[in-house]
Each structure stands twice: as structure tokens, then as C-alpha cells.
Amino acid sequence: MQIKLENLKKTYISQNKNERSEIHAVDDVSLLIPENTIFGIIGKSGAGKSSLVRLVSLLETPDSGYVYYGDKRVDNLSKSDLILQRRKIGMIFQNFNLFSSRTAGKNIAYPLEIAGTPREKIKSRVREMLTLVGLSDRENAPVSTLSGGQKQRVAIARALATEPSILFCDEATSALDPNTTHQILELIKEIQKKMNLTVVMITHQMEVVRDACESVAVIENGRVVETGKVKEIFTKPKTQVTRNFIKNISSEPKNFEYQNKVVKWSKDSGRFVLHFADGATEKPVLSMMSKEFDVTFNILAAGLNRLQNEEVGYMEVDITGKDEEIEKVVHWLSENHVNVEKL
């Protein structure tokens, strides 16, 4: 199911001792989230991600603007229609939100009980869901005996038990270690394909976007500052916010299997970052550059960001020469599929 957001706004009033201020948590957001894909929404803490997802998942109503699922407007549903619509939405959170008094199986059964599903059907569906998330032997396990990763698996199974078409994940891997994060992302990717889900992945971790999402929107101060395919964003980041997110993952590899390969020759980071996009690797662009222009360059670091099906390269370099010559070089490089970012 495609999701369309038009000019969504939500303002909260925050009341301190003697000061009353307005927080524009969601500030005129318009977005098209294509169906049958994993769409990331990334932003720093406080950027407005959770506020936005509460509007999109119909937990709260916007002050103004519209939410459409497919062609249907859903931000103004009557109470009874809202209940039915919400059954077609699954949600998972950072802290799992499971019922600690229930077993794994009984947690998954819960939304089916609420929907009035017959007992026998619930039983078989719970088994099916446990198998889907790789926990078929833990049906009767109390939630307290499960690891974080297993809890999130139960939460995924519960969220999808009623066969929704949309899954919202709000920081679903933020409480998990890198290996478990990797496993949960792989599981979500697999299930997305199996069930043709539209997955909206809210995160503050660029690793999650890199490893799981096809497209992404970057938000800051309640606004979308950049949106596009993940590959585009990695090779041609347009805003400083996005560059910082990318930089942070390249400097702290957490998981040996998924780490970005960075080789540093110098402590300095250089004045330019070159991002190599499709086609750039076919030509010896750097040696052509130094032949054609009156500049010298020095490579200080180089690395790879592994996206899901490919790798995109980048290099930190110093380019020395007259200003106008450097300007020409930057232009020439971008024509040769090398995006240049000035630091």
C-alpha cells in the first residue's frame, strides 16, 4: 500500500515553570512512500520522527494536512473505521512493548483475540508466525526468558499476525547489538518480500538505512531536508545533516562483517571528499584530472560504503592549485560521475 503525506503539521505546547512554548514537531511534511518497499526515515534524536510516525500510523491526528493509504484518505476516519484501519497496520518499537505476563505465543495471539478470530484459527496462525520469525520452539516461553533479539522477533510476529499491509518500525533495532540488529534487519527484509509489505523504518542510525532501506527521507526540526534512493543519498548527499550521518558510520565500524572499509594515510581528513558513483570507476579520473588541470592532489583516506547490492567508494583528498583551477576540477569531476563535497 502506497502512503502519501501532504503538508502534515503537528505542534505541541510545552509548559515549563513560567514559560509556554510551541514545538513544531512535524512542520509541513509531504512525502510519497512507495508500496512494497522498505522506506527509511532518519533524523537525530528530537527531529520529530516519532511524532511523524504517530500521525502516519493514525495514533494521533495532525493539526493540518492529509494522510492517504493508496487513494483513501485516512487521517479523518470515524472511530469505528479507525479501529478497522488500524488492524491493517503493524507496529514495532525500540522497547518491544510486549506483555510481560504472557508467553511468546500468547503475545502473538493478542491482536487476533481482539479481532475476534476463532480459537482454532488463532492457534494455527500463532504457530505460522512463530515459524516465520524463527521461534517455533519458544511458543510457551515467558517473555522474560527471551533475549532482546527474540523479543523483537515476537513483536514482529505479533505486529504481523493480522496480516497488515503496512509495518512501522520506530527505532526497532536501537536497543540491539550490531549482530542482532543485522539479523533483525535481514528478517524484516525477508518478511517484507514474503508479505509484500510497505515498511516504514524510523531510525537515527545510518547503518540501518544502508543495510535495509531502498529509499530514505532525512528529517530535521520536523521537516524533510532530503529524500531519495539510498544509493543517491550516499553518493550525492545534499545537506550537512546527511553528510554527518554518513560520516559517522564510516568512522566507527561496529561489526566486522558489515564494517566500512576505510584506509587512512593521514590524521587530517583533507579538504574534499570524492564520492564515486556509477561509471566513475571505468576511467582513470584522478590521473586524467592531474594531467588536464594545473593541480596536484594528495589522497588522505579512502573507503567503501557497502550498500545492499553494491559498494560505493569515496576518498578524502587535498587538491592544491589556484582557486579557479580547483573550481574547474570540481566541475569536471562531477561530469565524470565523481561527486565532490567540500569540507
Ligand X SMILES: Nc1ncnc2c1ncn2[C@@H]1O[C@H](COP(=O)(O)OP(=O)(O)O)[C@@H](O)[C@H]1O
Residues that bind Mg ion (CB under 5 A): 49-50
Residue closer to ligand X by CB (options 12, 265) is 12
Contact assessment for residue 28 and residue 223, using Cβ atoms and an 8 Å cutoff = yes
Q: What is the C-alpha end-to-end distance of the chain, expressed in Å?
A: 40
Q: How far is the CB of 171 from Mg ion (least distance, A)?
A: 6
Cβ-closest position to Mg ion? 50
Contact 273, 333 (CB under 8 A): no
Per-residue binding string, ligand X, 9-48, x by CB under 6 A, is ---x-x--------x-x-----------------x-xxxx
Q: Specify the residue, 50 or 259, whose C-beta has the smaller distance to Mg ion.
A: 50
Least Å from the CB of residue 45 to ligand X: 4
Considering the complex, state which of residue 46 and residue 228 has its C-beta at the smaller distance from Mg ion. 46
Q: Which does 82 bind (CB under 5 to 8 A by kind): ligand X, Mg ion, none?
A: none
Q: Which of 5, 42, 51, 208 binds ligand X (CB under 6 A)?
A: 51
**Residue 123: C-alpha distances to residues 100, 146, 148 (Å):** 20, 21, 24
Which of 221, 243, 238, 305 is closest to 44 using CA atoms?
221
Which residue lies nearer to ligand X by CB, 25 or 209?
Answer: 25
Three-state SS at 340: strand
From 49-57, 104-112, 182-190, 230-238, give the range in contact with ligand X by CB under 6 A: 49-57
Q: Give CA–CA dist 52/170, Å, rounded.
A: 10
Q: If residue 156 lies in a helix (H) or strand (E), which one and from where to where?
A: helix 148-160
Pairwise CA distance, residues 245 & 79, whole Å = 40
Binding site for ligand X (CB under 6 A): 12, 14, 23, 25, 43, 45-51
